[in-house]
Amino acid sequence: SAVISQKPSRDICQRGTSLTIQCQVDSQVTMMFWYRQQPGQSLTLIATANQGSEATYESGFVIDKFPISRPNLTFSTLTVSNMSPEDSSIYLCSVLADDSYNEQFFGPGTRLTVL
């Protein structure tokens, strides 16, 4: 299993600013994912961030807007840049345990409100 913590748990930001969300895992994992969940909606994958390689972004998401760092096997950050009210969402970090690709673990999420 994997236990994931995220910081901050929530934030209120002004438009035009940037916020960096941290994801910490209690074990070493190769595969890590960042999702967005807009109000009342399902989860949408932003990018896959595997350690040792550049993040792979899904259609509709670009690195300039959502830069991701993955410095080691237990940590990652997602930055939401030049925020607008449309970026108000819950951002979730998720990992696959290296010993099993069948169960994906999710963090508690970061609730972002952009004014």
Partner 1 sequence: DAKTTQPPSMDCAEGRAANLPCNHSTISGNEYVYWYRQIHSQGPQYIIHGLKNNETNEMASLIITEDRKSSTLILPHATLRDTAVYYCIVRVESGGSNYKLTFGKGTLLTVNP
Residues of this chain that bind partner 1 (CB under 8 A) = 4, 31, 33, 35, 42-45, 48, 50, 56, 92, 94, 96, 101-109
Cβ proximity to partner 1, 17 vs 104, nearer residue: 104
CB of 33 to partner 1, least distance (A): 7
Residue 66 structure tokens? 């959502």
Smallest gap from residue 87 Cβ to partner 1 (A): 19
| 75, HSE (Cβ side, Cα atoms, 13 Å) | 6
DSSP helix/strand/coil, 87:
helix
Q: 65 near 59, Cβ under 8 Å? A: no
Cβ proximity to partner 1: between 13 and 45 the closer is 45
How far are the Cα atoms of 13, 19, 21, 36 from residue 32, in angstroms, in the given order?
Answer: 25, 19, 14, 14
- Provide, rounded to whole angstroms, the least separation between the CB of residue 16 and partner 1: 28
> Among residues 48 and 77, whose Cβ is nearest to partner 1?
48
